[in-house]
Structure 1
Amino acid sequence: MERRPGRRAEEEGSERGWDAHETMAGKADEKIVVEEAFKDTEVPPWRQQLTARALVSALLLSLVFNFIVCKLNLTTGVIPSLNVAAGLLGFAMVKAWTSLLERCGLLRQPFTRQENTVIQTCVVASSGIAFSSGTASYLLGMSSLIAAQSDGGNTPVNVKNLSLGWIIAFLFTVSFVGLFSIVPLRKTMIMKYKLTYPSGTATAFLINSFHTPKGAKLAKKQVAVLFKTFCLSFVWACFQWFFAVADGCGFVSFPTFGLQAFKQRFYFDFSATYVGVGMICPYMVNISLLIGAVLSWGIMWPLIETKKGDWYSADLSASSLHGIQGYRVFLAIAMMLGDGLFHVVFMLIKTTSSLIANSKQESSTIAPYESDSSSPDFNEDQRTLYFLKDQIPNWVAYGGYIGLAVISIIVIPFIFPQLKFYHLMVAYAIAPLLAFCNAYGCGLTDWSLASNYGKFAIIIFSAWVGLEHGGVIAGLASCGVMMNIVSTASDLMQDFKTGYLTLSSPRSMFFSQVYGTAISCVMTPLVFWFFYKAYPIGDPTGSFPAPYGLMYRGIALLGVEGVSSLPKNCLALAILCFVVAIVLNLIKELLQHFETKHRIYRFVPSAMCMAIPFYLGSYFAIDMCVGSLILFLWERSNRQKAKDFGPAVASGLICGDSLWGVPAAILSLAGVQAPICMKFLSASVNQKVDAFLEEGS
């Protein structure tokens, strides 16, 4: 659940910028004090903002965050905003290093907020590629493992087995194009239209506060809290490992609400990761996940299973898309597509109306000038001065986009012969428009719809190519092309906004984004491959079900086979879910527009979030609701402490539990198994086991 800049993980149900609006509201006096507080601090040139210590810190943190994002992608796909943790850990690492050098009398360059912004930008860019790389979604959906579960399109031309080499080559080919697609519009977006980019703005406030004396003291306390919860989470994950020798063993299979509820995937699995995710995600995201779980696993699936033998064959395997699994997958897809279509159309309308309104206003040109601390708008003077100081020539942007697009058009058909050069020419022709719409809409609402554009690309290109010519692979590959362009464009504009508010050079922002993207093009496949070789990835009943692999392949199958591949009455139910998703979003937008006093729109559940448990069950939703409950009780007890330290506690829980996956995977690769299997049986089954053991003895 983007999600990285904007609502990166909108398909996963998280809303990035969870604290953006609250942060901005709490900084009403920011216009008066921020740049005056840094008035006597020299702003280093853009080359000095890209220090070796910043780049090394970004590299190390990118590795940590890649492991976290990879694990979240392969489990439920719910990914929270990690910007706070990135900014905080970046500050802690470099501040500790510079403090040590200062004590030794060796410090040559003080740690600045511009450096902190560079680190945060690199880490977020890297984790952004970890999401949009598709290693747990569209690329995994190409594999024979997922194809075997889909019961359709499982032919050689529609299957491509994963290989580390071509994944890295593909990411290098498609990940940089989007960076050049939006650069010429940076002044228009940031200065002329003054788009807010709530997450970028919140991140800037965070970094600015770190580098004031009061903020530095709070940051040190936050780091201490993060480290403590990190250690506790890591030790707890290690402790759980000893009881989980195989799937179905350990605390992750604890029947919290009874064995019958456990069979319907209602249980608390003691995951510190998703408790932490729940503390970061908005309350309504977590509640929506739980509502979706109750509706699907508590009501819909038990009712559909009573139609076994009528609606679908009783002889089908549990993973067949022509059986109960088909309802779970395609109804979730329908709800996601309904939600995605609504937001794409709504964002296009909002973008168009905003552009028309802006075009009617008298435009003013902005020229460089010297700022004056006596100016009533000293902040804007300073920010305009430094934002216009280091320009990126438009010819670099246009040439970069065209050159990289040509390389991509030549290279990608060698990786995916199903996707021809003319398919890619069409994709790269329309991509800048979609990138602009996504970046502009993200600036207005903090929502990035990259994965929705990717899903629609799957349907269009898979139908265009056709089943016999490899439409499944072509659709999934086109998803990667479109998603990477649109996603990185909104990411970069978020970074420009953050840089604008911290007086960071646009050039340092651009190069730090390129650096983060480059290291992640290598790091992300390597981290994924580490998990891929250590665990049974894609197994619906395993620890790493990677649900979006099957869902994205299901979307491609809809494109090439049409609705004829669906089981009985699945189409009618899918249409119903599609309509419900649109209606829920429409109700929320209407309430938000016409009703302001009680803000009832906050209580309308998210259709995208409701769809996720359709396939996975409710165990992670329960974990996240526990996280929400902890945060809620903390806020009732001490709201200020919850606001200051809640993100640090959540980040520590996520980091510690997720990073235990590294030694656990190494142990698995080495053939080392846990010594104990903790399993739960009903009383009757337990009696049979006892009787069997007695007979054997």
Structure 2
Amino acid sequence: MVRRNASGEECGDDHRSDQTASMQEEAFKNTEVPHWRNQLTFRAIAVSFGLSLVFNVIVCKLNLTTGVIPSLNVAAGLLGYALIKSWTAISEKCGFLKQPFTRQENTVVQTCVVASSGIAFSSGTASYLLGMSKTIAAQADAGNTPNNVKALSLGWIMGYLFLVSFVGLFTIVPLRKMMILKYKLTYPSGTATAYLINSFHTPKGAKQAKKQVHSLFKWSGASFAWACFQWFWTAADNCGFTSFPTFGLKAYAKKFYFDFSATYIGVGMICPYMVNISLLIGGILSWGIMWPAIEAKKGDWYKADLPASSLHGIQGYRVFIAISMMLGDGLFHVVYMLTSTIISFAKKQASSEASEADDNLDQQRRKEYFLKDQIPNAVAVGGYLGLALLSIIVVPHIFPQLKWYHIAVAYLIAPVLAFCNAYGCGLSDWSLASNYGKLAILIFSSWVGLNDGGVLAGLASCGLMMSIVSTASDLMQDFKTGYLTLSSPRAMFFSQILGTAMGCFITPLVFWIFYKAFSVGDPEGSYPAPYGLMYRGIALLGVEGFSSLPKNCLNLAIGFFIAAIVINIIVELLRKFETKYRLYRFIPSPMCMAIPFYLGAYFAIDMCVGSLILFIWELKDKKEARAYAPAVASGMICGDSLWGIPAAILALAGLKPPVCMRFLSAAANARVDKLLGS
């Protein structure tokens, strides 16, 4: 899955310095910093829970459609600010206000909500967990045996998430002072989030935040109403505005059309231009050129009578070539980040003593509050060992294919990878959690083997690894945010725990509503959940090698695997040696190009429309666009995504839309008229 960083810029390009944020610290010199317990208020927890529901719905819907998830931190910060500000205003009028709203409390809400929605991303309900289901296994053909398939159940999914999601929080806690204070890592997303929250709580920032909140709610309402209107025209499959043949019926058959999705227009406004263009290039390359050429080989390269969803037919080329690009891109970034981490770590260690003298007064104040409320290392180590032991005992009861020693090995390796991911994230804002998860699938699935349930073992191990590595880097980002807003590390840690607990409870419930109401995992349906089949495909590669691939698929996969690595090498060389024109900005991303290989270009067209809107807005008023575009985009995403819950409830109640709006060719329409006339 593609997940955007919190700053909304392309990963690695947005490095706000501490100095930028420290320019605002003067505004808070006379503001009392509350005790860490007073930062964790009841109203903050209540608002966090409500927003967690909203954001879990949004992330779940995005996961189940295309897997492209933009940064929602701006929306979380704005909504958290608006709701608690309204709460305190009402309380003050009623004479019940005991504690004013502070930036520390705002940080707690932001941390809690992002932690909860982060579980929606790392839980695997749309990837590795869904890949275990009968629906996805039936599409994969190979490995469709009883010990490699697991029926999805709300109970065991929720139990599994509670077992594995908290471990990562304890891996990185002992290193927080080294990462934040000693090596002064940037953590661009954490810094940008702190900059946002600090600006909300200054007089000028509060005025702008009020306008941004108004824009967010206005566009949220508009997109919700538009989604509701579209529902009335979708009485059957391939009906409604989402099936509008914008460029003609032939282009529609090749997945080229604009589907009027407010969600992906909003996503396109948040994601960098090159991400959207990369998606469109990938769609043109695959559905416009490659798949028609391979389909012409039907009967030669693969059997002509295979079902469309079979991995031994055209679907195999779509899935495994996309996987090869993702693995190539992921492997390059893992190796590159590990190398960069080792080199940077050595340099930082050599120069750390000299940098201690460079602290200004603002940094000294931040350091004072950052060191004030410590989390004992014994708690961190004990928590990790205790939770790891619990997982080693209980997880094999959920997945008998995964033995206790497999889990023990995973937990021995995970802290090292968690450190590398958190350190690399501090340097570049890249979180490689999903890449480590894919590597875990390959390692553990091949270790267990097909006959002993290697597919399930690989997918389950992916969850273990992703949960630890992802939550570790997210927590360090939060520590950076807390450091720059004078929020207590202890408050940050507990808000992360609360958010994780909320996510482990809410995420399975939201997913289960979608899973029961719609055909989740159907490649032709509204919720194709592309990563379910892709992650299962990676597990099949682990247990079967390349024997499961159709003819010439291996050669194409190797070619695209190498191409992904070469493209990334070129980007890094240009980034390092060509600084005048920054040509690396115009090279497409292999990871983004790979996503439409399976889904088609329709959502990329939506996102490019979002980019076009932003581009025109910036030409007209760049300052206004930068201030309000994230709020407008977030509103479009929120409203459209929230309609998914009423739509699911209506579907579960058996209520169908009244009209089917479908588009036919002139010849097909004539045949229908003739049939109806007879």
Same topology, TM > 0.5:
yes
Taking structure 2 as the reference length, the TM-score comes to 0.98
Cα gap change, 1:19/1:401 in structure 2, threshold over 3 Å: closer, same or farther?
closer
Distance 2:50 2:10 in 1: 25
Contact 1:275 1:650 in 2 (8 A): yes
**Corresponding residue for residue 434 of structure 1:** 417
Contact 1:537 1:544 in 2 (8 A): yes
Contact 2:61 2:641 in 1 (8 A): yes
Contact 2:16 2:186 in 1 (8 A): no
Contact 2:21 2:484 in 1 (8 A): no
**Corresponding residue for residue 173 of structure 1:** 163
Quote how far apart the aligned CAs of 1:41 are: 0.3
Distance 1:99 1:197 in 2: 34
Matched, 1:676 2:668: no
Match of 1:497 among 465, 474, 480: 480
Match of 2:183 among 193, 209, 216: 193
Distance 1:376 1:547 in 2: 48
Residues 163-198 of structure 1, C-alpha deviations (whole Å, 9 max, x = no match): 011001100000000000000000000011110000
Q: What is the 5 A alignment of 1:44-193?
A: 44-193=34-183
Residues 396-438 of structure 1, C-alpha deviations (whole Å, 9 max, x = no match): 0000000000000000000000000010110000000000000
Quote how far apart the aligned CAs of 1:19 are: 9.6
**Corresponding residue for residue 312 of structure 2:** 322
What stretches of structure 2 of length at least 5 have no aligned partner?
Answer: none
Q: Give the number of aligned pairs.
A: 678
Distance 1:581 1:21 in 2: 20
Matched, 1:337 2:327: yes
Matched, 1:598 2:587: no
Distance 2:223 2:590 in 1: 31
Counterpart amino acid of 1:229? W
Quote how far apart the aligned CAs of 1:265 are: 0.2
Distance 2:258 2:228 in 1: 18
Quote how far apart the aligned CAs of 1:382 are: 1.0
Which stretch shows the higher mean deviation, 351-360 or 157-166? Answer: 351-360
What stretches of structure 1 of length at least 5 have no aligned partner?
Answer: 7-14, 368-374
Cα gap change, 1:339/1:448 in structure 2, threshold over 3 Å: closer, same or farther?
same
**Corresponding residue for residue 236 of structure 2:** 246
Distance 2:322 2:166 in 1: 31
Residues 480-504 of structure 1, C-alpha deviations (whole Å, 9 max, x = no match): 0000000000000000000000000
**Corresponding residue for residue 3 of structure 1:** 3
Quote how far apart the aligned CAs of 1:381 are: 1.3
Cα gap change, 1:195/1:96 in structure 2, threshold over 3 Å: closer, same or farther?
same
Counterpart amino acid of 2:225? V
**Corresponding residue for residue 10 of structure 1:** none
- Aligned residue for 1:564, secondary structure, equals coil
Contact 2:122 2:466 in 1 (8 A): yes
Counterpart amino acid of 2:244? F
Distance 2:124 2:93 in 1: 46
Distance 1:476 1:325 in 2: 21
Quote how far apart the aligned CAs of 1:102 are: 1.8
Contact 1:132 1:484 in 2 (8 A): yes
**Corresponding residue for residue 196 of structure 2:** 206
Match of 2:673 among 678, 690, 694: 690
Q: What is the 5 A alignment of 1:402-441?
A: 402-441=385-424
Distance 1:376 1:318 in 2: 63
**Corresponding residue for residue 461 of structure 2:** 478
- Aligned residue for 1:59, secondary structure, equals helix
Quote how far apart the aligned CAs of 1:17 are: 4.7
Distance 1:227 1:158 in 2: 45
Residues 242-268 of structure 1, C-alpha deviations (whole Å, 9 max, x = no match): 000111000000000000000000000
- Aligned residue for 2:143, secondary structure, equals coil
Contact 1:182 1:493 in 2 (8 A): yes
Distance 1:186 1:484 in 2: 19
Distance 2:592 2:189 in 1: 20
Distance 2:260 2:24 in 1: 42
Cα gap change, 1:30/1:156 in structure 2, threshold over 3 Å: closer, same or farther?
closer
Quote how far apart the aligned CAs of 1:4 are: 6.4
**Corresponding residue for residue 649 of structure 1:** 632
**Corresponding residue for residue 622 of structure 2:** 639
Taking structure 1 as the reference length, the TM-score comes to 0.96
**Corresponding residue for residue 370 of structure 1:** none
Counterpart amino acid of 1:292? G
Distance 2:89 2:60 in 1: 33
Q: What is the 5 A alignment of 1:307-386?
A: 307-361=297-351, 363=353, 377-386=360-369
**Corresponding residue for residue 220 of structure 1:** 210
Cα gap change, 1:634/1:460 in structure 2, threshold over 3 Å: closer, same or farther?
same
Distance 1:198 1:218 in 2: 22
Identity, % of aligned pairs? 72
**Corresponding residue for residue 11 of structure 1:** none
Contact 1:538 1:546 in 2 (8 A): yes
Contact 2:163 2:391 in 1 (8 A): yes
Quote how far apart the aligned CAs of 1:99 are: 1.2
